[in-house]
Amino acid sequence: MKYFICLAILLLTFSGSANEPSEIRIDPPHWWAGMNYSSLELLIEIKLKSNENYIISEVIGNDISMVKDEEAQNRDYHYVTLNIEPNAPSQKLKIMGWRMGDNSRVPISITYEFKSRRKNLHEFIGLDQRDLIYLVTPDRFVNGNKDNDIVKGLREKTINRNEGFSRHGGDLQGLTSHLDYIKSLGASAVWTNPILINDMPVYSYHGYAITDHYKVDPRFGGMKAYKKYSRELHKREMKLVMDVIPNHMGTYNRLFQDPPDSAWINSWPLNSDLDERGEVDSTALTNHRYTSIFDPYAAPIDKKQFTDGWFVHSMVDINQRDQRCSNYLIQNSLWWIEEVGVDAFRVDTWVYPDQNFMDNWSKQIHKVFPNFFIFSEAWVHDGSSQRFYFNENKTLDGAADFMMYSSWKDALENPTTWNSGLNAFYKNLGLDYQYKSPSRFITFLDNHDEGRFFGKIKEDMSLYKMGVAMLYTMRGIPCLLYGTEILLKELDDHGKIREDMPGGWVEKKGDRNAFNNSGLSQDERDALSFVREMAQIRESYPLINTGSFRHWAPYDKVYAYCWYDDNEIVLILMNRSDREEIFDMNRMTELSFKDIKIILDTQLQMDFNESERVSKFNRVELGSNGLKILHLTR
Ligand SMILES: [Ca+2]
Ligand SMILES: [Ca+2]
């Protein structure tokens, strides 16, 4: 990709002295014909000397014309608005102007490309309930290219696999070469933590401190690797989920170091002095009071601090209320979808940016890509807040289901009492009445921010299987964190939770390797094959996540739910007690059925006469902390 286009060196000076060729940057660096986007606002940057200024006087194109050229508060930048007729063909525009100094006048001539859109690029766009997402921290999955581990000229100079907060060398090449493994777990989509460049002095591996909105981190393989990754996903009919961050960016982003306008940044006091970690100590942080947005009594200062305070000292809070900044972010998002063939966005820290902007942002994306899927990370702790942040944004497609996540923790980490354990899970699911589209929630047992599932359930294999089986059969779109399939279990801190995937680095012979199933413990092998078994069940019974859903209140610590239609039922039963329990099939009432087939039992040995026994006595036996899946024909 060309970020910089050389100034045409047609010197026409009044003084006769030659000017040095300068560099020009335009964001977005190119666009496409036929995008259903009529007004494009280019952000042009030319590094001027103090006595200089410039104008853009003319745009020469076919059915594309310049509406206006406006100088930004920072004179290096101009906003140039183009009007694009619906039938404008792909072409190379000429953007013409003049750069002027005290005694000089140099013509500017820039070529700007409107490309043709690629056919079939969006064949797999969107997500639905039949999808399953696999979440990867790209620095920690597979190191496919050692040569990009340290890239000269970037601020973080080292890698250190013994240090949780250092870079470890994983990249998109490594991820791409393991997509078949990911697919074998039942995943049809991959969400990576952000892959755009984080040129920060420390702690850059996680990707949430973007320093250039148009550049893939070269340590992840750059744009070429990202495009190949997209092609290889689509070849397998899998989907690409990009992690986007409208709320903040890294302090080394030029939009903070040298912003077009100070209004693009929320900061008080406005101070861009960075310490050696890239942090601005003086800035106010967010108070994390997400209820202040809808609280009828909220003090204005609390609202302001919530929305405008920085997330951390190394990430600049962006002011999306500024119209130019808003345009920049919207166009940037559209650009990535079309450039790479992104199928869905996961939106980081959804509740922290201006909420009117978020609504408009998702609206604009859907205008160009109606089937695109956007889901939020709105990390809240009660259903009413989850409802507010999901329902209020009409064009937000889905949301990470933090309420189900916490009720799962309750169900599997605590004993089942009247209000806790499986009862908490049952009651939480009943609160689905309040959400606009609960089937579009993203469900998860663990994520990259909190302790891993297997650690939280104290390494209990029965509860592990119960959790995974529920994840693969619950309403919503399941998301599996990398390594949960082989029992990674760290609880302590981000660096450790995001540990290296065993097998992703060249190791000694005999070391643990998830990808070729070698060096794993018996439990780890069991877990991996159990996840694949669940993938198989989900594949073989498409009624799961498409039929009607029903559940039964826990009796004797036994909870049941099912998917059904007129022809069949997939019934999931679980016992969250330390002794054997039974489920009384008479509770199915009008969901009548004929034949019974037991398709999974996590606890008791599969017994071929069992189906007959169940039919005869109308009771299903469940082992201690066991889960069964039955297929019933009607
Ligand atoms: Ca690497
Ligand atoms: Ca904010």
Closest listed ligand to the CA of 312:
2
Pull the structure tokens for residue 342: 């992104």
Q: How many CB atoms lie under 10 A from the CB of residue 382?
A: 13
Q: Is 450 a catalytic residue?
A: no
Look up residue 399 and give its DSSP letter: E
Q: Given this model, what pLDDT does residue 397 score? A: 98
pLDDT averaged over every residue in the chain: 94
Q: Which of 69, 377, 581, 621 is catalytic?
A: 377
Ligand nearest to the CA of 317: 2
- CA 39 to ligand 2 center in whole angstroms: 26
Residue 474 structure tokens? 């619950």
Q: Crossing angle, helix 461-473 and helix 402-413, to 10 degrees?
A: 150
3-state percent breakdown (helix, strand, coil) of the chain, nearest 5: 30, 25, 45
Q: Is residue 480 domain-shared with residue 629, that is, in the same domain? A: no
Same domain, yes or no: 569 and 606: yes
* CA-closest candidate to residue 133, choices 246, 245, 242: 242
DSSP state of 619: E
Q: Strand, helix or coil at 253?
A: coil
User: Which domain CATH number covers 599?
Assistant: 2.60.40.1180
Query: Distance from CA of residue 69 to its chain's centroid?
Result: 35
Output phi, psi for 463, to 5 deg.
-70, -35
Query: Does 575 lie in the same domain as 503?
Result: no
| CA–CA–CA angle 426, 413, 545 (5° rounding) | 45
Q: For residue 147, report the distance from its CA to the centre of ligand 1, in Å.
A: 6
Task: For residue 281, give the DSSP letter.
Answer: T
Let me know the angle formed at the C-alpha of 404 by 401 and 407, rounded to the nearest 5 degrees. 150
Residue 609 pLDDT: 80
Give mean pLDDT, residues 268-292: 89
Distance of CA 39 to the CA centre of its chain: 28
Question: 265 CA to middle of ligand 2, Å?
Answer: 9
pLDDT tens across 299-358, in order?
A: 999 999 999 999 999 999 999 999 999 999 999 999 999 999 999 999 999 999 999 999
Q: Closest-lying ligand to the alpha carbon of 265?
A: 2
Provide the number of structural domains found in the chain. 4
> What pLDDT does 22 receive?
54
210 Cα: distance to centroid of ligand 2 (angstroms):
15
What is the rounded average pLDDT of the residues 534-555?
Answer: 97
**Predicted pLDDT at 597:** 93
Same-domain status, 359 and 494? yes
Q: Tell me: the pLDDT tens digits for 583-612?
A: 999 999 999 999 999 999 998 676 768 888
Handedness of CA 431, 436, 439, 445 (dihedral sign): negative
Report if residue 530 sits inside a domain.
Answer: no
Same domain as 603, residue 563: yes
Secondary structure letter of residue 588 according to DSSP: G
User: Would you say 302 and 289 are in contact if contact means Cβ atoms under 8 Å apart?
Assistant: yes
Do residues 213 and 268 share a domain? no
Residue 34 lies in a domain: yes
| Ligand 2 centroid distance, CA of 574 (Å) | 42
Q: Are strands 105-115 and 91-100 parallel, antiparallel or unpaired?
A: antiparallel
393: exposed, middle or buried (Cβ count in 10 Å: 0-12, 13-18, 19+): buried
- C-alpha 159 to ligand 1 mean position (Å): 10
Cα of 310 vs centre of ligand 2, distance in Å, is 7
Boundaries of domain holding 276: 262-319
Q: Is residue 528 part of a domain?
A: no
**pTM of the predicted protein model:** 0.95
Domain check: are 231 and 273 in the same one?
Answer: no
Q: Which is the catalytic residue, given 348, 397, 533, 610?
A: 348
Q: Which ligand is nearest to the CA of 505?
A: 1
**Same domain? 223 vs 286:** no
Q: How far is the CA of 349 from the centre of ligand 2 (A)?
A: 9
Going from the Cα of 149 to the center of ligand 1, the distance in angstroms, rounded, reads 4
Domain presence at residue 525: no
- 302 and 200 in one domain? no
How far, in Å, is the centroid of ligand 1 from the Cα of 380? 35
Residue position matching structure tokens 């826990």: 554
Kindly report the length of the chain: 634
Exposure string of 182-195, with b = 16+ CB inside 10 Å and e = fewer, is bbbbbbbbbbbbbb
- DSSP letter at 581 equals E
- Of residues 270 and 437, more confidently modeled: 437
Residues 241 and 191 sit within 8 Å (Cβ to Cβ): yes
CA distance linking residue 274 with residue 600, whole number of Å: 57
Q: Does residue 127 form part of some domain?
A: no
Asked whether residue 510 carries a pLDDT value surpassing 70, the answer given is yes
Residue 399 sits in the same domain as residue 453: yes
For the question of residue 377 being annotated catalytic, the response is yes
Question: What's the confidence (pLDDT) of residue 507?
Answer: 81
Ligand nearest the Cα of residue 173 is: 1
Q: State whether 233 and 355 are in the same domain.
A: yes
Closest ligand to Cα 357: 2
SS (H, E, C) 66-110: EEEEEECCCCCEEEEEEEECCCCCCEEEEEEEEEECCCCEEEEEE
pLDDT of 141 strictly over 80:
yes
pLDDT computed for residue 509 by the predictor: 83
Q: Residue 39 forms beta bridges with which residues?
A: 83
